[in-house]
Amino acid sequence: MFKRILILFSIIAAILLLIIVTSYIIHQNQLSKEDQLFTPTGKMVEVNGHQMHVYIEGDGEDTLVFMSGGGTSSPVLDFKSLYSLLSDKYKIVVVEKAGYGFSDISDTDRDMDTILQETREALLKSGVEGPYILFPHSMSGIEALYWAQVYPNEVKAIIGLDMAVPATYKEYDINMPLFHLSAFAANIGFTRWISGLSESDAIKYGTLTDEEKEMYKVIFYRRTATKNMINEVQYIKENAEKVGAAGIPNVPLLLFSSNGQGTGWNEEAWNEFQRDFISKHKESKLIKWDCSHYIHDIEFKRIADESEKYIESLNR
């Protein structure tokens, strides 16, 4: 009986191994075919021993810096529907962190000081000087707040795109085994076999062209659950605690808030984090819309209009 069970398990293991090897080979072949599409659309600059991608559009007096949420495969394309409505009046910049978009996957830690210093250096090496108006999405809200805390003269305002605040992560249950499993699935190409997985909100709701949608998918298969993204998750509670302990920075804040779908929190809890945060800040405003977490891919027209009004009010 035991021998039969052992044979059965051996057969199952062999089949699984064959599936994994086959998927990996197909994935590597597809990556080779897609190489010509994986071409940076902005500048590549060397920062901390690796290459970072910085995309610049427009030439206005105010500089808007878009900062992606955790795990966003292609920040440049993810924000495009929004920033394309603002670049005729402002200079817009998207800095793709290590492990994101066209930037290299690096071995650098993702503690808050390292992340911020790399972002700042990438901007300066691209010829983009402050002060900046920061547009952080989700997890990057922590970096934006830290930026304003440590370098207040560089931050003119923060316009949060359903951004996280320090309290968000205090009781957040992080399932690291699931993140590591996602990384394994991405590395062996399982992500190619799951229908619709590469269909981001930018593709479904935004204004990307067919060519840009195809490019997004190419990037998705290379930049999903990278080791930098995983490392960010491992550091996020520590980073959030550090930022929370320093208090709310003295910069104007405009927060756009979602219904919580896609955040891991229900609507009431998610909105309460943001309401409680801005209640302690004099120069703040919260605008709530009934849409999911990637709010800038869905309500991009309204966000562009409200952002422009807000920026112009700062300049009066």
pLDDT tens figures, 155-201: 999 999 999 999 999 888 888 898 899 999 899 988 998 888 889 99
Beta pairing class for 155-161 and 132-136 = parallel
Sign of CA dihedral 20, 105, 28, 39: positive
Cis omega (within 30 of 0) on the bond before 131? yes
Is residue 142 within 8 Å of 233, Cβ to Cβ? no
- Which one, of 70, 67, 41, 69, lies nearest residue 56 by Cα? 41
Rounded to two decimals, the pTM is 0.94
Beta-bridged to residue 224, according to DSSP, are: none
- The length of the chain is 316
Task: Measure CA 201 to chain center.
Answer: 13
Cα–Cα distance for residue pair 283/306, rounded to 1 Å = 16
Maximum CA extent, the chain = 83
211-257 residue pLDDT tens: 999 999 999 999 999 999 999 999 999 999 999 999 899 999 999 99
| Four-way CATH pick for 41-314: 3.40.50.1820, 3.40.50.20, 3.90.1720.10, 3.40.50.10490 | 3.40.50.1820
